[in-house]
Amino acid sequence: MVKWIAAFIGYSYYRFPGAIIGFFLGQIIEKRFINSRTNNINQDKIELNLLTLASIVIKADGKVDKNELSYVRNFFITHFGKSRADQAFKIFNTKIKNQSQSIYEVTNYFVENTQYALRLQVLHFLYGIANSDGSIDKVEIDKIDDIAKNLKINYADIESIKAMFIKSTDSSYKILEVDKAASVDEIKKAYRDMVKKYHPDRIRSKEKSLLKGAEEKFRQVQEAYEAIKKERKF
């Protein structure tokens, strides 16, 4: 993303030669200052922290639902492969499950070691767990909101992802982070902004699992925009 922005800026000043220079400078910035942050994270630690947050959400309503457990297991098998999923669950069940689980410690790891775009995926994953039994209780929403705030996710993004799972008459507008009374031009601009935010290219990681989550959110943004276009007839 940085390389394309740099190319655009270069083009605006020096036309085609400036675009080429800007593109390559942007690549250098991405490799040195952005990609390194995600590529250096401990994938095992990410998986165990995801399981810890999943456990906190599952226990939020005071009961352990089989549908929620199945959702987490299927998510890990689909995104990380059965072997890695089995290993992560084994370590979690033997070393972490019965320990005191601190939301702050777990979320702080994500804040210090991952991109904002990845933390949005964590929030999406947690809402998927809560919704897997067919409904989301208020206590689950409150717990996920608490986790989201500790992940340093801003309010508009929290409400946007929440609207992907809790449907209402203005869910599509919430997903695009725009007021229902917004003009067509404002809606189009909001859509372009959301496409930039949730585009899979924003996730700079070698892990294919992270890209799958980004693709799902990207699809929901597109569906929300199409629903508004149909409603507003533009």
Q: In this predicted model, what pLDDT tens digit does every residue of 190-230 receive, in sequence order?
A: 999 888 877 766 665 545 555 666 777 788 889 889 999 98
User: Own/partner pairs for 19-23, CB < 8 Å, 24+ apart?
Assistant: none
Confidence of residue 140 (pLDDT cuts 50, 70, 90): very high
The C-alpha atoms of residue 181 and residue 149 are separated, in whole angstroms, by 27
Domains in the chain: ranges and CATH: 36-165 (1.10.3680.10), 169-232 (1.10.287.110)
Contacts of residue 228, defined as CB under 8 A and 6 or more positions apart, other chains included, come to: 172, 173, 176, 187
Closest CA to 78 of 218, 211, 228, 229: 211
The C-alpha atoms of residue 21 and residue 10 are separated, in whole angstroms, by 7
At 4-47, the pLDDT tens digits run 444 444 444 445 444 444 444 455 444 444 444 445 567 788 88
At 154-173, the pLDDT tens digits run 999 999 999 889 877 688 89
pLDDT at residue 139, as a whole number: 93
pLDDT at residue 88, as a whole number: 86
The C-alpha atoms of residue 72 and residue 58 are separated, in whole angstroms, by 10
